[in-house]
Each structure stands twice: as structure tokens, then as C-alpha cells.
Amino acid sequence: MRKYEELAKVIIENVGGKDNVISLAHCYTRLRFKLHDEKKAATEVLKDMDGVVTVVQSGGQYQVVIGNEVGDVYDEIVKSQGIAGASSEAESAEPEQKMNVIDRFIDIVSGIFTPVLGMLAASGMIKGFNAMFVALDFIDANGGTYQILQTIGDGFFYFLPIFLGLTAARKFKMNEFSGMAVGAALVYPSLSAIIKGEPLYHLFTGTMFASTVQMEFLGVPVILMNYASSVIPIIATIYFGAKVERLLLKTIPTIVKGFMVPFLTLLIVVPLTFVIIGPVSTWAGQLVGSAANGIFQLSPVLAGLFIGAFWQVFVIFGMHWGLIPIMLNNVSVQGFDPVVVTYFGASFAQTGVVLAILLKTKNKKLKSLCAPAFISGIFGVTEPAIYGVTLPRKKMFVISCIGGAIGGGLIAFFGMKLYMFGGLGIFAYPCFVDPVSHDISGMKYGMIASIVSFLIGLGLALPFYHDEKEEEKIFVVKKDGNKILEKEILTSPLIGEVMALEEVPDDAFSSGVVGKGVAILPSEGKVIAPADGTVMTIFPTGHALGLITDKGTEILIHIGIDTVKLNGQYFQAKVKQGDKVKRGQVLVEFDLEKVKAAGYSVITPVLITNFQQYLDIIGTEKGNIDYKESLITVIA
């Protein structure tokens, strides 16, 4: 669609252009960019753009939150902007970035699990509904319907190491098919029969690592584990395998690399996995699960209160990726997760707060944000609610955290268990049905916890939410009580011919997607400040800068069209990001004639990027304008 094409174009321009993008992926609501230089991105411009909820910089990723339409925007970027998705070779060329340990961990986990989250959720939902149908006597557990549905839902989980072998190979820069082949070896069906056979002998008897040995490899004992649905062993194996493959690529002659590298990689990695990496990583997973459960058991309700309260904060900063592996590991090792599941009430509390605001606000724009955020929140996707509605109204966000905390405490008190990773929101209810005993009590408790969380969010937000503070930003009140309109006059930052924005030869500007305002065809290569304010953003190339006036108006001045391609040639910035400036102060100087001689248009859009906050943006009617003459009037 046309709107996605325009939005894709503007997003790429404001993340610093195609050349600044290392890789791109997306999850439920966010475009996840990796950029060469995040300083080149016009973050404030993106935040104020129609179609963008906000921008989050976390875990080494530059995340542009779109909302429910993220898949369409992602597809359009890949299609029309020439940006390669995360599954392409572009990511394999990704340079190492300097990150702290936590950011590096989050980056690795999110990179491995993000591509499979949709299928994890879909498969889990099928398994959950299948268990629920049996519990409610809709179908027979021994019948063909149950078996086929279980095959559909359980197939992905059983062969999870193959899929994680693929995504981990992408992340660790290993041949993807080699990664899948390693995962396939771990779940090779014949191994199940060997595991059930008579052991040759025992190892580590009397310790927590006591194991049976059913086979040997070249005389070395092999401790066979059940790797179906496992998580940690395949990730550890591919991490090691990527290093082996890189070493082989450096040493094997080019003429035989095509088959000798995967041949030797598999011969080295798979046996070492069965002998060492698999058992050790399986034990490590068991220890992680035991430690998490042990801490949880010290005070389940307190832990539930904590996770429920801060889950949305974790989501904002991407820290929830550190807990998801614990959940998946618990499900794999124990068959259920009683710890991380305490997050479940948080999305319902958030949704209840959004409904309260929707019911009380008279602000039409806010209502238009609340309605879709409420709908997506019911299904567990809360980023539109967080970034678009509650977080800007801090008290409302705190109330949603209170509701999430109480929901988490209830979940822990009930002793609820998550038996499979499935859908979010109301689609997660079947995930609390025990697939073995078909006990549905967990689902009932999940419904109770979610309803309580929702009602707390709704009930606390209704009396505390008021539009008045937002209205104070719009109106100034005279002593006689009559309301008058407030306005800010911005003077011209350039000298030259005034043009309508529609005449700008660039769809992103002419369509008004980036902002409202006018354009100037300059006759002199100098840009001055149109008001007192602060430099929010200035591109390293000097061709564009963003200001925020002391009254809160956000201004983008983009000198020329596509002049970013000059890489700063002919531009000289006189200020830097964070500088306080006065009206009339010189911001940028540029060689007007050389820019034109290089083949670039010098038409300069002057835009109000946070135009949504104002009643009207009025441009001058003058045909030509000089410095400090009134150019734009902002009506609030």
C-alpha cells in the first residue's frame, strides 16, 4: 500500500539511510535495526512521525516501534528500499559491536528467538487448545483428531533444535544448513530407542550428574540425553561450531571448501556435542532451572509481585529476553514453568488502564490511539498501549504496573504453571492446561488473575485520569477566565523564495508525513535559528538538523534534497547536538553553488515535526523572504 511505501522510505532516511543499516528484523510490534552509527539516526523525528509509536535503543538494537502493522512496513522496506532482512547474507557481514555483557546476552537471545516466536506461539496455541478440548470432553485423547492436532502442535517443539540450529547459525555467522544438520542429528529418531536400551555401564554414580552409558564413540563413553524440544544444547553447540567452521574456512583450499568445510564441521562438531557439549549444557540447563525455581520457592508470592510489576519495564528495555530462555528451559526440562509465567497479568492491567483512558478522555487524538491499543492489548501485544498511551502519562503507567504486580502475586499464590509457550493475552489461556492430566484448573486461575489485573488497572485509572493537564498545554487562561489561543512565531532560517511543501521533489516531505510547514529555495548558503531553543539533532553530514524551541515546538530543517549523499561535502555545522541557541544565531553554512553544481536540489523544507500537538500550522503568504521575517505561525 502507498502509506507503507511512504513510511518505509521516511524511516530508512531517518535511521541514517541504507548505508547506515547493518541488518533488519522485526518482532510483534518493532522493526529491529542494527546500525553502523546510531548517532546518524534522527530519533526525535522518528518518534514524532505518523505511523511510528516510538523509538527504543536497547541491547545493541535501534528499535522503531510500529505496532500491529509492523509486518507490512517491514515487507515494504525489504521490497522497496533494498534493505535486506535478517535472514539474508547482509547479517552475516555484520561487524562486531562494542556491548556490555548484558546487552550482548540480550542481543544474542533476541537474535536467536525472534525469528521463531510466531511459530512458537502458533504451535503452543494448537497444543494448548488440543489439551483443553480433551479436558472439556470435546474430543477423545485416543482418537485421530487429537493425534493429528497434537502432531501439528508438537512437531515444531519436538524438532526445535533444528529451527534454533538455523537461527543460531545466522546469529553466530555459521553456514545455516550446517546448523540445521547439527540440530537434526540431536533429534535423530533412532537415538530414542538407544536411550531406552540396557546401559553398558554407569558414570558419576552417587552425584547429581549420575548417568548411564548406552554407547561409545571410538571408545569414548557417550552420555545420551533427550534433546527433543531442548534449547541450551543446540545454542552452545552452534556457538562452538561457528568457531570450528571459521577455522576451517581459513585453512582449507578454496577449490574444495564447498564440501570439505561442512564435511569436517559435522565430523568434528556432532561427536563432540554428543560426548561433551550436549551433556554439559543439559546439566547447565538443569542447574539454571533449579536455581530459578529455588529462588522462586523462597517466596513465590513476592517473586510474582516483582515480575508482574516490572515485566512491562523489562519489555521497554528489552530485558525480558533474559527471562524467556529460563521459561523455555523450564518447559523443556520440567515440562512446565512456574516462575516467568507470573508476568501474565501485566498485559491485562495495561489494557484495563487503556480502557479507562478511552472512556474518560475527550481528546480525539488520544481516543484514536486508545482504541487499537486496547484491542491489541487483549491479545497480549501491549507496546502500542505502553508507548502511545500510558508511558507518556506516567501515573497511568505506574497504575498498570500495580495491576501487573497483583496479578503476578495471584498467579504465584495459585501455583499456576505454564506448560507450553503459546499465544499471548486471551490466547494464552489454553497454555495453562496440563497436557498429561488434562487438568484445566490452571486455566481457570489464569482467567481469574487476568480479570483481577484488568479490573485493578481499570478501577484505579478511572478516578485518577483527567484531561485537564493536557488541556493546559493547549490554552493560556486570562485573568477574566476567557481562554485564548497561544501561538509561537518562527522566523525564517534562510533567505530566498518561499514554496509550498507540495512542490518539494520528495514524497516524504511533500506528503507531510515527516512534518507540516513550508519550503525555501535559498539564495544564500546560511541557516540561522528561527527561535530560541536547543539543538536536538544535527546530522554529521551537516545537511539537516532538528531544533526544539523553548516553547516546545520541534523543527526540522533539511538543506536540499538527497544531499545526505554528499557525505558532508560543502556543509559546515556551526553548532552541535545539545547546544542552546538564540534566534538569528548561525547554525549551518553551506556552499550553495557547489551543491547545485553537484546535481542536487537546494530546496529546503522547514518542518514542524510534532505538528500533531497543535491546532494549526500556518505558513507565510510571502513569495520571497529574508532572515528573521515571520515564516511559520504555530497555533496551540
| Cα–Cα–Cα angle for 402, 408, 411, rounded to 5 degrees | 145
397, three cell numbers:
503507567
> Side by side, which strands form the sheet with 604-608?
580-581, 533-538, 544-549, 554-558, 604-608, 516-522, 496-499, 624-625
Residue 387: name the closest of 25, 15, 3, 29 by CA: 29
As a whole number of angstroms, the longest Cα–Cα distance in the chain is: 96
Residue 446: name the closest of 435, 460, 430 by CA: 430
Question: Is the distance from CB of 149 to CB of 131 less than 8 angstroms?
Answer: no
By DSSP bridging, strand 220-222 and strand 215-217 are antiparallel
* Residue 634, SS3 per DSSP: strand
Question: Is the distance from CB of 387 to CB of 340 less than 8 angstroms?
Answer: no
End-to-end C-alpha distance for the chain, whole angstroms = 33
**Is 370 a residue of the active site?**
no
Rounded CA separation 234/561 (Å): 49
Question: Is the distance from CB of 431 to CB of 418 less than 8 angstroms?
Answer: yes
For 465-549, where are the alpha helices, taking DSSP H only? 468-474, 507-510
- Buried b vs exposed e over 291-311: b needs ≥16 C-beta within 10 Å? ebbeebeeebeebbbbbbbbb
> What amino acid is encoded at 279 in this protein?
P
Residue 163: name the closest of 109, 71, 231 by CA: 231
Question: Is the distance from CB of 534 to CB of 578 less than 8 angstroms?
Answer: yes
Within 13 Å of residue 74, how many CA atoms lie on the same side as its CB?
Answer: 23
Rounded CA separation 5/76 (Å): 6
Rounded CA separation 605/557 (Å): 6
* Residue 312, SS3 per DSSP: helix
> What amino acid is encoded at 285 in this protein?
G
By DSSP bridging, strand 487-491 and strand 496-499 are unpaired
Rounded CA separation 286/291 (Å): 8
Q: Write phi, then psi, for 164 (nearest 5 degrees).
A: -70, -30
Rounded CA separation 544/528 (Å): 12
For 187-220, where are the alpha helices, taking DSSP H only? 190-195
Residue 96: name the closest of 152, 154, 16, 171 by CA: 171
- Buried b vs exposed e over 376-408: b needs ≥16 C-beta within 10 Å? bbbbbbbbbbbbbbbbebeebbebbbbbbbbbb
* Active-site residue list: 27
